[in-house]
């Protein structure tokens, strides 16, 4: 269930093992989930940026098997926009010193020293986690505004698990050491890597290729198939039913089921329903939604970055992608540039429900305000909305997950995988590994997919087993 990186990786692994595989995907056009590449008038743009980098050689090997010959080596350049200035990221000591000025720099260092001498205990929120590693002043400058744009809630409401998972190993000390090592030294924190591979036509090319190869080898990848009901009895899941956009009804039997659809939707689709406390836990899970306004700019070179983080609170945009700098093949005409103005929102709020025209006007206005483009340079705009893009790690999410996991583990033939499938803010490679382990479980292994985390090497060690 679901044809994102996790669903298609599971199908790929099972197809290679000789199993009969059927994939249901709700989207009528695209595979890849949030890792799709949307096309419009010859332009290709991502739902966020997707780096192909993994510490797991097993994951790298799957990428090579699916698409061995069409990667580009993408040098990362990203900056932070804050109070009218662009700061290099990862941190470069001299760059930051010159732009912050000596007084602010000294105050930041003193704030960091204070945080190290008297760290906040216990460390339960993202605000506390970051403050302990960077100091209160740098937290307020370079973390608070952007993070609250992304999640739509206070940093005091976000669980420290998010920071520990996403930016583990990153601190002011690590960032400064990385800066002084020079560009040839690879940082230890994964978030600081300077080069990565990228499919020439965007991440969707990887998953479109995977789907096509599954089809060529006898598997089925069925688009416009939205799961509505997951039927089960004392033996486990027996079949699923659903519809397409025309209202046609479909049914699929199977011996084993892998779900990468949002965990909330999975639990609320079960028939008969789970116990009341499990339903309540599923309903309490929260998600952040996402939309991109792709601007086609009549200029060959707009800025050198692959992406820019927008920490300035005077604009709503959270991040800006420059798709041409990921791969030249993302634009049909080298004299043009396409930018992805990324907005984080909640489904149904003012941003989400705004018309495409109004969103385009907002994106153009903010791109001009930041200084990225000039008025009149935009010749076209496209909008893509992505519901449930990010699972929210609020203060209660762990308890909700515990209730769901303890109940759903009764099903020997149903395995949740992937970012939304497990309500775990995984990277693409981590989602793939949960799917690979789930596929091996169907073949007789006994891995605990829930133990895959963002720093695991993922080899078949005792840590991954029950």
Residue-range domain boundaries for the chain: 5-36+56-71+200-285+394-464, 91-186
Number of other residues whose CB lies within 10 A of the CB of residue 55: 13
Instruction: Quote the pLDDT of residue 169.
Output: 56
Residue 464 confidence (pLDDT) = 43
Question: Please, which residues have CB within 8 angstroms of residue 301's CB and are 6 or more apart in sequence?
Answer: 337
Q: Check whether 344 has a pLDDT greater than 50.
A: yes
The CATH label, of 3.50.50.60, 3.40.50.300, 3.40.718.10, 1.10.10.60, for the domain at 5-36+56-71+200-285+394-464 is: 3.50.50.60
Residue range 394-417, pLDDT digits in tens: 999 999 999 999 999 999 999 999
Judge contact between 269 and 414, C-beta under 8 A: no
Which residues have CB under 8 Å from 387's CB, separation 6+?
Answer: 287, 289, 347
Q: What is the mean pLDDT of residues 126-142?
A: 90
Structure tokens at 378: 């935009």
What average pLDDT score do residues 275-287 get?
Answer: 97
Calpha distance 125→312 (Å, rounded) = 22
Report the pLDDT value the prediction gives residue 173, as an integer from 0 to 100: 64
* pLDDT band of 194, cuts 50, 70, 90: low
pLDDT of residue 67: 94
Residue tagged 């385009």 (tokens):
360
Q: CA-to-CA distance for 456 and 459, rounded, in angstroms?
A: 8
Query: How far, in Å, CA of 257 to CA of 25, rounded?
Result: 14
Higher pLDDT, 74 or 310: 310
What's the CA gap between 98 and 102, in Å, rounded?
A: 8
- The pLDDT of residue 134 is above 70: yes
Mean pLDDT is lowest, of 44-58, 252-266, 269-283, 448-462, for 448-462
Which runs of consecutive H residues, i.e. helices, occur in 414-463?
419-422, 428-442
Residue 125: the pLDDT is 92
Q: How confident is the model at residue 333 (pLDDT cuts 50, 70, 90)?
A: very high
> How far is residue 431's CA from residue 34's CA, in Å, rounded to a whole number?
12
The per-residue pLDDT for 184 is: 47
Q: How many CA atoms lie within 13 A of 4 on its CB side?
A: 30
Sole residue written with tokens 């956009």: 245
Backbone angles phi and psi of 375, in degrees to 5: -60, 135
pLDDT band at 48 (very low <50, low <70, confident <90, very high): confident
Model confidence pLDDT, tens digit, residues 140-188: 988 899 999 999 999 999 988 877 766 655 666 666 555 555 544 444 4
What tokens does 203 get? 């991440």
Going through 70-206 in order, the beta strands assigned E by DSSP cover: 71-75, 78-82, 85-89, 195-199
Task: Name the burial class of residue 453, with classes exposed (0-12), middle (13-18) and buried (19+) by CB atoms within 10 angstroms of its CB.
Answer: middle
């Amino acid at each position: 269930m679901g044809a994102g990186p996790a669903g298609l990786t599971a199908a790929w692994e099972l197809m290679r093992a000789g199993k009969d595989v059927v994939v249901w995907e709700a989207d009528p056009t695209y595979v890849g989930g949030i890792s799709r590449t949307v096309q419009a008038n010859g332009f290709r743009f991502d739902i966020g940026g997707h780096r192909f980098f993994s510490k797991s050689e097993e994951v790298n090997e799957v990428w090579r098997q699916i698409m061995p010959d069409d990667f580009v080596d993408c040098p990362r350049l990203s900056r932070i926009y804050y109070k009218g200035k662009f700061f290099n990221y990862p941190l470069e000591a001299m760059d930051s010193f010159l732009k912050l000025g000596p007084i602010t720099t000294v105050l930041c260092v003193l704030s960091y020293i204070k945080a190290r001498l008297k760290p906040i205990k216990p460390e339960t929120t993202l605000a506390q986690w970051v403050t302990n590693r960077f100091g209160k002043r740098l937290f307020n400058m370079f973390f608070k505004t952007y993070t609250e744009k992304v999640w739509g809630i206070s940093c005091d409401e976000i669980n420290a698990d998010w920071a520990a998972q996403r930016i583990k190993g990153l601190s002011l000390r690590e960032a400064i050491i990385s800066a002084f090592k020079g560009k040839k030294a690879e940082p230890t924190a994964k978030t600081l890597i300077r080069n990565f591979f990228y499919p020439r036509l965007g991440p969707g090319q990887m998953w479109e290729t995977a789907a096509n190869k599954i089809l060529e080898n006898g598997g089925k990848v069925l688009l416009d198939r939205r799961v509505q009901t997951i039927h089960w009895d004392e033996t486990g899941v027996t079949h699923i039913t659903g519809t397409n956009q025309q209202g046609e009804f479909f049914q699929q039997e199977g011996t084993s089921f892998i779900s990468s659809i949002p965990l909330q939707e999975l639990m609320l689709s079960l028939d008969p329903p789970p116990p009341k406390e499990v339903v309540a836990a599923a309903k309490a899970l929260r998600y952040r939604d996402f939309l991109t306004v792709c601007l086609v700019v009549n200029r060959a070179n707009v800025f050198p970055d692959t992406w820019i983080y927008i920490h300035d609170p005077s604009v709503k945009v959270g991040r800006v992608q420059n798709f041409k700098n990921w791969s030249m093949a993302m634009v049909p005409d080298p004299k043009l540039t396409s930018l992805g103005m990324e907005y984080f929102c909640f489904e149904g709020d003012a941003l989400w429900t705004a018309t495409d025209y109004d969103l385009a006007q907002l994106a153009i206005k903010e791109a001009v305000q930041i200084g990225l483009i000039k008025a009149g340079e935009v010749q076209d705009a496209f909008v893509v909305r992505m519901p449930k893009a990010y699972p929210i790690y609020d203060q209660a999410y762990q308890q909700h997950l515990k209730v769901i996991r303890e109940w759903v583990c009764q099903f020997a033939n149903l395995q949740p995988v992937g970012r939304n499938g497990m309500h775990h803010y995984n990277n693409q490679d981590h989602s793939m590994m949960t799917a690979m382990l789930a596929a091996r479980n169907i073949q007789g292994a006994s891995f605990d997919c829930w133990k895959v985390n963002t720093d695991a090497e993922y080899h078949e060690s005792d840590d991954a087993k029950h």
